[in-house]
Chain A
Amino acid sequence: MSSLRKWMLFSFWFTLVGLTWTIILPRLSEVPGIQQHIARMEQKGIVVEAMFYTELDWQPPPGASWR
């Protein structure tokens, strides 16, 4: 693959990602179902992207003790 073609391919993907994230996804966030889901998560303070429980605002059940 020629150097020019490689960089053109890179620019294409870069633009595609940029447009998706700055135009399509913001529009998607206005779709009523998605908007409601996002508002509910924000309101309840749920960290949906959490990978491990320490990233959540996890509270032990009442009366639980580890000592």
Chain B
Amino acid sequence: MIESLGNEPEKHVVSSGGLETAPSARGLSEDWTAVVLGLCILILGLLSVQVTSPPENISGPTSTETKTLAESWLADCVGKPGKWNANPGLAFYKNDKSLLGSIIGALLVCTAIGAVATWLQRNSTRRFIIAFPLVFVMSLMAYVLSSQIVIANYNLEFALWALLVGLIVCNTCGTPLWLKPAVRGELYIKTGLVLLGAEVLFGRLLALGVPGIFVSWVVTPIVLISTYVFGQRVLKIPSRSLNMVVSADMSVCGVSAAIATAAACRAKKEELSLAIGLSLSFTVLLMIVMPIAVETLQLDPVVGGAWIGGTVDSTGAVAASASSEYLGDVGLRTATTVKMIQNILIGIIAFGVAAYWTRWVDTADQSQQVGPAEIWRRFPKFVLGFLAASILCSILFAGSQAGELRVSTSTDAFTKGLRGWLFCLAFVCIGLETNFRELFPYFRSGKPLILYLSGQALNLILTLAMAYLMYGVVFKT
């Protein structure tokens, strides 16, 4: 059984039912496989984009700015089900256009990624190709469940339903042994995170300037560290990784931050599942309560927008929450921009958590001092792929208009959709390896819930204070 989401280059034990597949010494480790695959996909996505300037643009510089076009030959190659209400069959159509082609495209691309990964790790590619379609069908079911109109509009993200589908299969009829070669949760998560790095564009920080950076980048780390310390010193939560994942998903940006930190601190799969369940439950609540609170307190729309952006966990829920008439367009834009800056913060948080874990947590019980070579061996290498993707795309994005178009078109047309599928596959795999009984001990103490509530209370107070100070006093004009 995979015990954690971390890198275990020497031994990779896949099964809870007896089947063990350990890559030979010649094979690449899971982390390096994810880095190689993620960066290759990213480069393919960037190269697939053609940027053209129509001849009529030479009439003036302003029109050149607006009319430069970009298209990718990979557009519509990877798609996901659309929204539906009573008939699930409608999930396969969008504006009367069939989505089946792009969903089959996603199946083929994901199969190719997994097959190359098993080849790089010197595992059986044939067994992977036989097993993978069923795991993909389960992911497709999760996507269809998450696309139901009520579920989609209340931010109950696909991760929750992917876990549910996997858990139902694992805890009823059981995960068959022949399926195990495709149950590669760690690989999907890490490859997805490398692709996510391409969406972490540091240049975009300049979009909101100093007040937004104060709200997102000063309050968020304070809340994250305070919540973690509170969990360790006051609540005495036995698992440091659970403490960190709950603190990060509450203070940064929900599911995406939970995935990144869980992989960085090698959290157990049950811990990631619990953190995501907590986060999504409270996101629905905050999404409804926050606009009422902003209106009741008669906050300025910009201050209210910044408060919502800094506190509601999930990115989509921030936009939904800040779309009230009271906040208007300016409140909505402030909220989504503050959340966008928090999204970008996950790159630094993931690196910081990985470095802290490697240097201090993993070595806490060792009497001898650990040298740089050992620290390097333990460091989760996929974080380097994540940062490399982020730096590469940030440089391209900031360099020229063509670069900006290349990065945004590649993300919109290809990597964003693929990253979604990889995360969905990962959560199905986590469900497929989780026994319900393994989740109960985490609920019994109630400590993760207390941790989440205490951290969120601090987050609400500090973010409101900082939003008021920055947008209401210092940068009021």
Contacts and interface: CB of A to CB of B under 8 A. Distances in A.
B207 A64 contact: yes
Contact of A49 (B152, B164, B340, B412): B152
A63 B151 CA distance: 36
Interface in A42-58: 42, 44, 46-56, 58
A59 B153 CA distance: 21
A46 B340 contact: no
Contact of A60 (B154, B207, B343): B207
A47 B319 contact: yes
B207 A10 contact: no
A14 B168 CA distance: 8
Interface in A1-42: 6-7, 9-10, 13-14, 17, 21-22, 25-26, 28-29, 34, 37-38, 40-42
Contacts of B95: none
Interface stretch (B27-35, B43-51, B141-149, B178-186): B141-149
Contact of A48 (B158, B316, B336, B398): B316
A51 B254 contact: yes
B157 interface: yes
A52 B149 CA distance: 19
Contacts of B251: none
Given A38-B153, A48-B155, A66-B206, A56 B86 contact: no
B172 A10 contact: yes
B151 to A, nearest CB: 7
17 contacts: A7-B172, A10-B168, A21-B88, A21-B145, A25-B149, A29-B150, A38-B150, A41-B323, A46-B316, A49-B153, A49-B156, A50-B315, A51-B255, A51-B315, A52-B253, A53-B315, A66-B397
Interface residues of A, number: 39
A60 B156 CA distance: 26
Contacts of B412: 54
B173 A7 contact: yes
B206 A40 contact: no
Contacts of B319: 46-48, 50, 56
Contacts of A65: 206
Given A6-B174, A13-B172, A46-B323, A56 B207 contact: no
Nearest to A24: B150
Contacts of A10: 168-169, 172-173
Nearest to A50: B316
Given A46-B316, A46-B319, A66-B398, A53 B336 contact: yes
A6 B171 CA distance: 8
A16 B169 CA distance: 14
B470 to A, nearest CB: 14
Interface stretch (B196-204, B355-363, B369-377): B196-204
B7 interface: no
Given A17-B164, A48-B153, A66-B398, 13 more contacts: A47-B319, A48-B155, A48-B317, A49-B157, A50-B314, A50-B315, A51-B256, A52-B315, A53-B343, A54-B411, A55-B316, A58-B336, A60-B207
B320 interface: yes
Contacts of B399: 67
B54 to A, nearest CB: 22
A56 B150 contact: no
Contacts of B337: 58, 60-61
A59 to B, nearest CB: 7
A7 B172 CA distance: 7
